[in-house]
A and B are shown apart, each in its own frame.
Chain A
Amino acid sequence: MLEKKEIEKAILRILNDQFEISNPGMDDDLREKHKFDSIDGIELLAEVEELLGFEINQEVKKEALEIRTVRQIVDWVEKVQSEHS
């Protein structure tokens, strides 16, 4: 199980390395401020599956498409991890 801080660190690393989004604010609207669109969302979900080490159900993934901020991503990943365990 990853701690919330570890999840946050990992998400920020992925955003930097894979999406060229450096040091985003936790409450930045990623779509508005960093042009992060639904294609990026699909790519990020694949990275999150790698991070967690299990496949996420399609219905659960659909919930994530409404997410707009890093804080919401971290909260969602923590919830998915917790429900899986």
Chain B
Amino acid sequence: MERRVVITGASAITPIGATPQNIWDSLLHGRSGVKSIKDDPLLGKHLRSRVFGTVTDELVYDFERHYRKTMGPVSYYACQVAKKALEQAGLEEKFVNSGKMGVAFGSTHGSPSVQRSIYEKFFKGGDNKLKGIGGADYLKSMVHTTAANVARMFGITGRIISSCTACTTSAQSIGYGFESVKFGMQDAMLCGGADEYDTTTVAVFDNLLACSTSFNDTPEKTPRPFDTKRDGLVVAEGAGAVVLEEFEHAKARGAVILGEVLGFACGNNGDSLIMPDAVGIERTIRAGLLSAGIGPEQVDLVTAHATGTKLGDATEAMATAAIYGKKPWVIGLKGYMGHSMGSCGVIETICSLMMMEHSTVVPTLNLENIDPRCDGIKHPMEIVNTEIKTAAVQNFAFGGVNTCLLLQGPD
């Protein structure tokens, strides 16, 4: 059984906006969501990178305590975007609760802020190190907290998948959700990812010399995908969710179709857990195209992972050029909002749908001078009005994980 899988709901909370209109306005007007990092008594003075992709929209914490009590900030994010995506999809509650719909949702490592509060109690001494740890703290912090809370909040009773593969987390959520519907295991899947404001992630990348440090006084100038002056990634927070639905089911109920997932591939480099690998990336892109049943000449837009690191961007550009040449536009959306880790794949998917809807490719923010090593692909340096029928979303993660999603715009 192979079925078509369409997108009938989408929502994102990002450093450049938390509504479709605000996000699109930021993209059109080149507004960055990167700000100076907030004060942090634990790590603040040790971090060399002083920038962060920061969500500035005030979140409404309007869920009943019955639901809230098991949520850390990351699950608030997840449930907020899930709520809006479900509202847009307009699926009946009876269907959502029927077991025919599942959840694929993840984050990099659950809720680091809750984990920090637990470990503070462990390390601060005293006779009873368990005192003060709440009954719900594990549920708030666990690695699958987003998926579990989303399922509970909306009474979704089908399969539950919670990828935690760092930067490919939500691309995998969409990919595994797509496969669940395509092959008939579910009729719909709520898919996405979230990551909260977290300086420990900055510390991890900072320690590996992978963070941007040269633009601490001008945060909006970094990250700089594919640019000669790029100096590393910028950690960000955010969340995104999409509702995937079997095409005939969506059509029968008259749902508005935002796009279609044509294919998905996930591969591993089988080598270094950190170094980017052009061969592994190429293999994954080719597998994605095969899954979608299309050739590279049919792809109009590639949303690259493009974190703004020296080696990562060059490797991705070379691998992408080897498959596509200079035919499709290749954009690095992290120039606008930084790297929102577990949520970047779904946010970049939603932004790609917007570009398809508006027949517009926005430029890669902060790309001023193309690094010669990244020159084998076609970069949008200004707004381009053009029809985009098919888009690819590429994401790569520590652990040697590569993903590629193939999307089609609405008819």
Contact = CB atoms under 8 A, between A and B. Distances in A.
Interface residues of A, number: 11
B192 to A, nearest CB: 25
A42 B139 CA distance: 13
Interface string A34-59: 01001111110010000000010000
B66 A43 contact: no
**Interface range, B side:** 10 to 19
B135 A40 contact: yes
B65 A46 contact: no
Interface string B132-143: 101110010000
B21 interface: no
Interface of A (DSSP majority class): helix
Given A39-B70, A55-B128, A20 B65 contact: yes
Contacts of A38: 135
B69 interface: yes
Contacts of A20: 64-65
B66 A35 contact: yes
Given A39-B139, A55-B128, A46 B134 contact: yes
A40 B136 CA distance: 8
Nearest to B65: A20
A40 B69 contact: yes
Contact of A39 (B64, B131, B132, B135): B135
B134 A43 contact: yes
Interface in A1-41: 19-20, 35, 38-41
Contacts of B135: 38-43, 46
Contacts of A46: 131-132, 134-135
Give me the 4 closest cross-chain CB pairs, A-B, nearest first.
A42-B135, A39-B135, A35-B66, A20-B65
Interface of B: 64-66, 69-70, 128, 131-132, 134-136, 139
Interface of A: 19-20, 35, 38-43, 46, 55
Given A39-B136, A46-B134, 19 more contacts: A19-B65, A20-B64, A20-B65, A35-B66, A38-B135, A39-B69, A39-B135, A39-B139, A40-B69, A41-B135, A42-B134, A43-B69, A43-B135, A43-B136, A46-B131, A46-B132, A46-B135, A55-B128, A55-B131
25 contacts: A19-B65, A20-B64, A20-B65, A35-B66, A38-B135, A39-B69, A39-B70, A39-B135, A39-B136, A39-B139, A40-B69, A40-B135, A41-B135, A42-B134, A42-B135, A43-B69, A43-B134, A43-B135, A43-B136, A46-B131, A46-B132, A46-B134, A46-B135, A55-B128, A55-B131
